Amino acid sequence: MKQRRAGKVIFYNRLSTIQLFNISEICGCQVIDKFQLILEIFAKRATTRRSKLQVELARLRYEIPRARAIVSLVKKEERAGFMGLGDYEDAYEQDLKKRITRIEEELESAGKDDESLRAFRHRKGFSLVALAGYTNAGKSTLFNAIVDESVEAQNMLFTTLVPTTRALDLGGRKALLTDTVGFIEELPHWLVDAFKSTLDEIFLSDLILLVVDVSERPDIILQKLSTSHDTLWDRIQGVPVITVLNKIDLLEESELEAVMEEIGYMAPNPVFVSAKKKIGMQELKAEITKHLPAWSFYSFSLPNSEKGMSILSWLYDEGIVHRVEYGEQISVDYEAREDIINRIKSLELGPDE
């Protein structure tokens, strides 16, 4: 039987520089670990300036400890020329750090722009909802189904490196839904930090939809829920989480019940959907509305004048107008954020104003 030599060997566990070298010597081919593979995939998926910078930052941070180990080897005159690097000098590590600093500064500037945009959206009455979950759980498919959009959704890892945000119709409540990068197990800090601007879309949202592939084995689902929870809980500061159990079309009702008996304790506020077949979208929207930040209800009158009509037009932009009656004054039943209600109260408009 004809045998073939492997072109690359991939290890699930993280490998040290020495381990990479020794194993590659034995195998006679390139050896990488899980996180190097992730970086390779990220590099192929990155299409925007920001995503390319994030991938480069992650790669550089991963390279730093390896650079130190290689410098140590070369200084001891051991295996000089390892990986074709030749006379490896301390200056290489310094160069890495300088490049890291430049990228961090550019991403920080972009992050400030994002913070300003998020603050502006809140001021305009938008609630921010983020899709989160283990990679390949169907987040992008769900995104397309619930906002009637078309973003890339394929059966492959990390198709979403740059957050995509669209308006979400909740029957009057203004909300924005963001699709984000998928979680992976044992996320190293350098990878989390590199994609901070992307993950902030989750951490700084008003509500999180944690998407789960419910068709997988219960033990795998629990493992992935645990990974997602570990990534979220220390950072979201009490933000409500809805567990979206996706791909229910692949299970019988009895199978779904059996799965829930095992994973239910790890699935807060569960909603059952099939994003592919658009099953459960209305139920999901209802649950989203239920968990959004509370709005206040207020009944008041406006002068039936040009100024009153102008204010009424503004009210439609900022909240939900439940009732309008026109007479000597304009009677309004209204629901909105507390700050909008307080602004209305501060106007103290009378019929002659």
Residues belonging to the binding site for Mg(2+) are 140, 160
Q: Which residues contact 291 (CB under 8 A, 6 or more apart)?
A: 207, 240, 242, 269
67-74: list long-range contacts, CB under 8 Å, 24+ apart. 67/92, 67/93, 67/96, 68/93, 69/16, 69/17, 69/18, 70/17
- Gap between the Cα atoms of 334 and 321, Å rounded: 5
- Contact at 8 Å (CB) between 56 and 104? no
- Contact at 8 Å (CB) between 173 and 127? yes
- Gap between the Cα atoms of 6 and 37, Å rounded: 16
- Contact at 8 Å (CB) between 164 and 179? yes
Which residues are annotated as part of the binding site for GTP? Answer: 133-140, 179-182, 246-249, 274-276
Which residues are annotated as part of the binding site? Answer: 133-140, 160, 179-182, 246-249, 274-276
Closest CA to 237 of 209, 267, 268, 206: 206
Full 3-state SS string of 247-305: CHHHCCHHHHHHHHHHHHHHCCCEEECECCCCECHHHHHHHHHHHCCCCEEEEEEEECC
Closest CA to 222 of 213, 209, 231: 213
- Gap between the Cα atoms of 223 and 259, Å rounded: 13
- Gap between the Cα atoms of 318 and 44, Å rounded: 41
Q: In what order do the strands lie in the sheet with 296-303?
A: 296-303, 329-336, 320-326
